[in-house]
Amino acid sequence: MPTAAKLVAAIIFGFVAFLAAHLYALSLPDPRQSGVLREVSAVVGVLCGWFVMGPFVMRSRRPVDAMGAGVRTSLTILICVVLIFATVEMLDRAMKGRFKTPLDAILAIFEHSLRLATPIAQPEILGVLLLGGLAGGAVTYWAGRRWP
């Protein structure tokens, strides 16, 4: 059921995901190679805000709990986006016949995830995810209490 908290969480975490993806794309050697990274990240942020953060706010009793859930939502966004792009890379390589067995393809997802996640350990990107999660959790908590 749609609530104000879910809507606010979707908007905030969509923006946080877009901003983190934009900073990640700027750190790439060729920023033009980012493709649809920002858009996919924003969609994942909206979905995680709606389905992960939104329902939690209605059960939380304190703002601190909601802020912790906001950080968890940011981490969920990060993991989902990395796995999505690693899976797309694996499928692209699989269509070119680069794997001998299905297990090689599955292991390639995790190898490529590690390669994608290494540049994320920059203070700017981690700061956006952490502070965005904290602020998003607090604002979502406020919206859930203000407009039930």
Which of 44-48, 84-88, 118-122 comes out lowest in average pLDDT? 118-122
Q: What is the pLDDT of residue 31?
A: 66
Contact of 6 with 145, CB cutoff 8 Å: no
Distances in whole angstroms, Cα of residue 103 to Cα of each of 59, 94, 99, 133 = 40, 11, 9, 35
Q: What is the pLDDT of residue 32?
A: 67
pLDDT tens per residue across span 6-44: 999 999 999 999 999 999 998 887 766 778 999 999 999
pLDDT tens per residue across span 79-107: 999 999 999 999 999 999 999 999 999 99
Q: What is the pLDDT of residue 147?
A: 86
Q: What residue numbers bound the domain in which 95 lies? A: 4-146
Q: What is the pLDDT of residue 27?
A: 85
Q: What is the pLDDT of residue 61?
A: 86
In this predicted structure, the answer to whether residue 131 has a pLDDT above a threshold of 70 is yes
Terminal-to-terminal C-alpha distance of the chain: 12
Number of domains in the chain: 1
| Average pLDDT of span 62-75 | 95
Instruction: Locate all alpha helices (DSSP H) within the chain, ordered by sequence.
Output: 4-27, 37-48, 54-59, 63-95, 102-117, 123-146
Torsion sign across C-alpha atoms 143, 22, 36, 44 = negative
